[in-house]
Structure formats: C-alpha cells, structure tokens
Structure 1
Amino acid sequence: MLRRSPRTLLSVTSAALLVVGLSACGGTTKDSTDNSGSGSQASAAADPNAATKEGLKIAFLPKQLNNPYSDVEVGGGKVAVGEVKGEYKLVGPNDASASSQVSYINTLIQQQQDVIVVAANDPNAVCPSLNQARAAKIKVVTFDSDASKDCRDAFINQATTQGIGESLAKMALEQAGGSGEIAVLSATPNATNQNAWIEVMKTELAKPEYSKLKLVKVAYGNDDDQKSFQEAQGLLQSYPNLKAIVAPTTVGIAAAARYIGSSSYKGKVAVTGLGLPNQMREYVKNGTVKKFALWNPADIGYLAAYAGAALASGQITGAEGEKFKAGKLGEYTIGKDGEIVLGPPTEFTAENIDQFNF
C-alpha cells in the first residue's frame, strides 16, 4: 500500500464485521455512581508523556456488519489495538437504521470497555447511550460518521467535509461532460457524513461554473446492495436523460456501476463518487466508471484505535491543539471540536487503480 505521507491517505476503504447478538439490560458500569454527564471526562489535564496503558478493552461498533467498507475500517482498528497490546472487540447491527446501535452501546457499558469506537448511523439517536458510557469513564471515539460533539471525546474524519463535497461536485461536472442532469445515490437519510458531503456538494453546484448541471434527485439505498441497485434503476426510469450518478457511499457506487454496466445506459450515464479500488476495478476496466475517489478505510480504523488508546491513557483529552502519535501514521494534532482529519482522498482511474489493493 502506498503512502504519500503520515497524514496523506494512500488509498480507500471498506468493512466486514462479525455480529454478536447483544441486548440491552440493566447492570453495573465501570463507575455506576458517576452520573456527572458528558463533560466530566475533560476535567483532567492531558499528559502527552504518559505511557500507553496495556490491556485496554477497545470495542468497535461500525454502522453495520458485513459491509465491505466497514470491514476494511475495523480491520485497521484491529491491527492498531494489537500494536498497543489491547483487547479488540467487534459488535454491530446487520442494518444501518438510526437506533440499531443503541443496544450494543448499552451492552458495551455493562462489559466495562475502556474505549468505544463508533460510526454513528444517526448523530443524535446514539447520544444518550454514549453519554452514559462517558459517565462510566469510557472514552468515546467516533469515526467515519460523527455523533453530536457533546457525546463523544474525539471524531476521526476521513478528510474534511468541505474537501469531500468539493471533490464530489468536481467529479460530477467532469463525468457529466460539463452539463446535464445528475443524481445522488446516498446511504441512509440520517447518515451524518453523507448528508454533510451532499450539502457541500449542493453549495458547490450553486456556483457559476456548475450552472449547466442540474441535481434532480437524492436517492437512498440504505447501504444495502440490492436496494441501491434498485434505486439506480429507478433513477434512470424517472430521469432517462440523466448524465451521471454520484454515490458518496461504497455500496451505492458499486451497485450503480453494476446496473449501468449491464444496461443500455453504459457509456451514456457516468457513475462516480466514493468507492473501494478492489470493488470498483472491474467497472473501471470495462469502461463503466472513469473516475472515483476514496481514502484508505483501514487507516481510519487504525487512527481511531490509537486516538482511543491515547484518550484512555491520559495522553490527550480531545481538546484542540493536543498532539498524539498514531503508530505508522505518525503524529496528529486535534482540531476544532475534537476533530482529527486523516487526510485528503485519492482519485482512482484506469491509469492508477492497479496500484491499490483494498
């Protein structure tokens, strides 16, 4: 895997998770007497020279299990947890609905995890449970898709929201040939990250240089392959003059490419967005997709695990300006509102896609 620099992404991302059926029930927490709320953990000063604690229990809760993108992400997290000599755990729902993660968070609290690393399906639905975790002295790191900043300690962002949204708009313009109707095929209506990127994209599309493009529809495939395939099909039935489908989700872009590549629209309707090189290679090779982008998902999970370990070891509190080391990725500085940015996305084309394997 190629890496430009410790903070620059090499490639891009995905995930497969082993589901453990867990249910929420009453029980003791790490500190059942501490109900001081979400701000209670930020009172202690950070000690950047503190040793990383061994044996930390770090649990990953992605949006859903058996999702190629998430599989890659949590795989990177597992590697990092091993490097810090911690105990790795993976749990999660099979669907990406707004409330599907709540019972898992409650169970992780009962199991007295040291760190919960979660990709939120909904920015608010998980907050009450995450704040219960923080009151129980559990550090909370969000990755890929953020929760409300009031219920987590740090957020690992793939790239800046602005940068991703601008990249999606730029690729849409290029792939549509500068004019015509375009549509977005997103994940779920509540997905924090996709919604933020789409809003930036809409702002970009309002600029003069995009005046010949018309966004006609934002469809949702719920990060389900078959539903995304059907939504792509429905978009062409409703908008036969569509010039491009932009999918800011790896499941959506692959499903759209599969539909377009096997239909009479191949060569007429472009597909672009965010995807995994291994998943998209055949569609690039057969000419269905000319360009798409992504970061290295494994590095997102890897960085999230190191951030969680640094929080649980007292090296950082999540405050802006604090620094910590993230193994092979090097040193990172925490930004505003506890955001830690992995780096810019990489664009993939027929010329470079064989250089990447993930």
Structure 2
Amino acid sequence: MFASRARRTRAVVPVALGLSLVLTVAACGGTTQDSSNDDDGGGDGESAAAADPDAEFAPDLSIAMLPKSVNNPYFEASSEGAQAAVDELGGEYEYTGPSDTSASSQVSYINTLSQQSADVILLSANDPNALCSSLEQARSAETYVVTFDSDVDPGCRDVFVSQVDSDEVGRALIEMASEQIGGAGTVAILSATANATNQNAWIAVIEEELASNPDYAEIELVGVVYGDDEDEKSFQETQGLLQANPDLGAIISPTTVGIAAAARYLSGSEFKGQVALTGLGTPNQMREFVKDGTVTEFALWDPTALGELAAYTGAAIASGIITGAEGETFTAGELGEYTVGADGVVTLGPPTRFNADNIDDFDF
C-alpha cells in the first residue's frame, strides 16, 4: 500500500504554468494536445505543455496495477512485467484488485489508489464507461490513468496500452478456427464479461469477417456466451454450448481463463478431438492440452511484456516525457522505442501463435 504523502510536482517539465495546464486538461478527459486551442481529445480547450522526450524518468513514482481480477495467471504475468519495470526505475509498485470481474468492484480500488496519492494507475477495465466517474476524480487528484489490455472511453484515461491491433486479433482468431475445421462448419465464442472492451472489439471483427470474407462463407457463428473470466462458470458455459450444439465445429475463446476452462472440459469429454478449440491463452496453462491433443493452436502476446510496457508508459507520462498525444515517442527499457498512436494508443505488437512445434520455447 502506498504511504500517504503530500502531492508533489510529478511531470518533469521546465515551466510550472505549463504543468498546471497539462494536469487541468488531463482532469477534464482526453489526451493532452500541443499548445493550440484545438481540443479533439475531450479536454477544456486550454493550451497544454509539450512533451519533453529528453526528460529523465522520475525516480520515485508510485505505480499501481489494477487488473480485471486478481488470481488470474494472465494478469499475474502482466504484474511481473510491471514490477520489473518499476523496480528498474526505482519506483514503488502495488498490485491490487477484486476477485470478481464486475466494474463496480473496481471502483473502490480506483478510489483507494487515488486517496493514497498513486502517481499512476495501470487499469484493465471491466467496462468502458462505468468506471469513468471514478477515473475522472482520480485524474483531477493528479493520478495518471493508463489502461492496458482492456480500454475505457478515451476521454476517461491518458493513454491505452494495447496488446495488438484489435482487427489483427479478431482476424487471427477466426483464421485459426477456420483452419482447424477445414473452412466449413459452426463456431461459437466463449468470451469473458459482456462489457469487456477488448473482447467485444475482437468479437465484432470475427462477426465482420464471417459476414464479408468469402473465405468464411461456409462458417456459421451459432452463439456467444460469457464465462465472466471465472473458471467454473466458463467450464459450465462450455458444457452448455456443446449440449445446445452437438455438431459444433469449434469454440473460440479470446480469454485466458475461458480457453483453459474449455480445454479442461473438452479433454475429459467425448468431444475431445471432435470439437476444435482456439483462442487466447498462455503457453504454460495450455501446454498440457496441446500435448494431449485437445488443442491444436492458439495465440497470445507476451503478457509480461504488456505489463512492462504499461508501466514504462505510465512512468513516461508521469515524468513529462509524453503527454499522450499522437506521434510522441519514448523508450520502454529493453523493449525499445514506442510511438503514441491516434487516440492515445500505444501498441505492443502482433500476437504469436502457439502449437506443438513451438510451445516449449515459451515460459509464461
């Protein structure tokens, strides 16, 4: 837990007045802009101080990660990366969050971290809009909000660290499913929560591909169910999908909790080897299911690197190296240089596909 302390000047910029304007714009929502009166990010229209790409990282930042839920291997890996980055920068780190995946449960943690004067909150959001009021209060109290993994409305945060381009993920998911069922048949989706921004973006791409791509003309989406990133519920939803669709060709589960639960169900059922399963998972949790033939191929980015990048991004904005405006650059340790894209988005990189040929090459 962060010790309570007096708020210090956090963004390392040369002019105090310029800093106050950065914080004013940030508190009103949207990414900060250059020194013009244009306000396309949802701020109040006042000028903002420019980023200083030559500034040093502040050495004593307090950075907290708030995942969708704790006790999740994916977010634990992300936390390891964030912890390593904060340690490297000489800051203070905390990993905290609810055990369930409701947006309301995240609100109290946001409020507490703001009251503890956290410099940066790294948030994977359970809802794109329900957290905005608490986030706006935190930002007005001079806490920067960097979302990662799952975004909120852009006006409610400073920067979003995306795993990969959403379209790229959605296309990879349906492509893997199609390959595994021979380009024809029925598919269903086992998602996380119904309001998860990233899940819904990927599902939308899958639906668009099925509707418009002739390569998938013989594939039908027969259902979308939600396991709420809970192991037992995801297990039960998998069972329900197969009972409702006995001729189901494939399940796509774009959530690490969901795909592991579905694999566990399939591996002990008569559907093993008959129903394909793909989605997003970590190599360590899926290795046994690849080796026993339950799963042929799935994908993911490195969640440890995602957490590390999120922490460096938060430190960069809190240190005045970036403001969140498009085109700004910063160096994220050994990960290298990154550029802020449109709408204040920083993207980690493309997903990796895991199968029997390469899964033992990875350990996360």
Alpha-carbon distance in 1 for matches of 2:31, 2:166: 27
Structure-2 change in CA distance of 1:40 and 1:221 (3 Å): closer
1:199 aligns with 2:204: yes
Structure-2 change in CA distance of 1:124 and 1:91 (3 Å): same
Q: CA deviation at 1:28?
A: 10
1:105 aligns with 2:95: no
The RMSD of aligned alpha carbons is: 1.8
1:38 aligns with 2:28: yes
Alpha-carbon distance in 2 for matches of 1:127, 1:355: 40
Match for residue 183 of structure 1 among 182, 185, 188: 188
Deviations 1:75-129, CA, capped at 9 Å, x for gaps: 1101100011100011100001122111111111111111111000101111111
- Name which of structure 1's ranges 132-141 and 53-62 shifts more when overlaid on structure 2: 132-141
3-state SS in 2 of match to 1:60: strand
Match for residue 62 of structure 2 among 53, 57, 64: 57
Work out whether residues 31 and 155 of structure 2, in 8 Å CA contact, stay in contact via their aligned partners in 1: no
Q: What is residue 121 of structure 1 aligned with on the other side?
A: 126
Work out whether residues 41 and 134 of structure 1, in 8 Å CA contact, stay in contact via their aligned partners in 2: no
1:282 aligns with 2:282: no
Q: What is residue 8 of structure 1 aligned with on the other side?
A: none
Alpha-carbon distance in 1 for matches of 2:338, 2:319: 16
Work out whether residues 140 and 153 of structure 1, in 8 Å CA contact, stay in contact via their aligned partners in 2: yes
Q: What is residue 339 of structure 2 aligned with on the other side?
A: 333
| Mapping for residues 113-192 of structure 1, pairs under 5 Å | 113-192=118-197
Q: CA deviation at 1:176?
A: 1.6
Tell me: higher relative CO, structure 1 or 2? Use CA pairs within 8 A at least 6 residues apart: 1
- Structure 1 gaps of 5+ residues are 1-19, 21-26
Q: What is residue 315 of structure 1 aligned with on the other side?
A: 321
Work out whether residues 296 and 355 of structure 2, in 8 Å CA contact, stay in contact via their aligned partners in 1: yes
Alpha-carbon distance in 2 for matches of 1:56, 1:44: 20
Q: What is residue 87 of structure 2 aligned with on the other side?
A: 82
Deviations 1:188-231, CA, capped at 9 Å, x for gaps: 00111001000001101112110110000001001011110000
3-state SS in 1 of match to 2:128: coil
Alpha-carbon distance in 2 for matches of 1:132, 1:49: 30
Alpha-carbon distance in 1 for matches of 2:122, 2:88: 16
1:70 aligns with 2:70: no
Alpha-carbon distance in 2 for matches of 1:73, 1:262: 30
Q: What is residue 268 of structure 1 aligned with on the other side?
A: 274
Q: What is residue 324 of structure 1 aligned with on the other side?
A: 330
Q: What is residue 304 of structure 1 aligned with on the other side?
A: 310
3-state SS in 2 of match to 1:51: coil
Work out whether residues 29 and 136 of structure 1, in 8 Å CA contact, stay in contact via their aligned partners in 2: no
Deviations 1:277-317, CA, capped at 9 Å, x for gaps: 01000100011100100000001110000001110110000
Work out whether residues 29 and 157 of structure 2, in 8 Å CA contact, stay in contact via their aligned partners in 1: no
Alpha-carbon distance in 2 for matches of 1:349, 1:109: 42
Q: Structure 1 stretches (4+) deviating beyond 4 angstroms?
A: 27-31, 33-36
Deviations 1:115-144, CA, capped at 9 Å, x for gaps: 111000101111111111111121110000
Q: What is residue 44 of structure 2 aligned with on the other side?
A: none
Match for residue 255 of structure 1 among 253, 261, 272: 261
Alpha-carbon distance in 1 for matches of 2:5, 2:299: 45
Alpha-carbon distance in 2 for matches of 1:262, 1:311: 48
1:144 partner letter: D
2:326 partner letter: E
Q: What is residue 37 of structure 2 aligned with on the other side?
A: none
- Structure 2 gaps of 5+ residues are 9-19, 33-47
3-state SS in 2 of match to 1:263: coil
Alpha-carbon distance in 1 for matches of 2:173, 2:302: 17
3-state SS in 1 of match to 2:190: strand
1:135 partner letter: S
Alpha-carbon distance in 2 for matches of 1:177, 1:170: 10
2:216 partner letter: Y
1:38 partner letter: C
Work out whether residues 29 and 109 of structure 1, in 8 Å CA contact, stay in contact via their aligned partners in 2: no
3-state SS in 1 of match to 2:224: strand
Structure-2 change in CA distance of 1:337 and 1:200 (3 Å): same
Give the TM-score of the pair, scaled to structure 1: 0.90
Deviations 1:141-182, CA, capped at 9 Å, x for gaps: 000000110011100000000100000110111112211111
Deviations 1:8-60, CA, capped at 9 Å, x for gaps: xxxxxxxxxxxx8xxxxxx99949x9887324983221111111111101011
Work out whether residues 98 and 190 of structure 1, in 8 Å CA contact, stay in contact via their aligned partners in 2: no
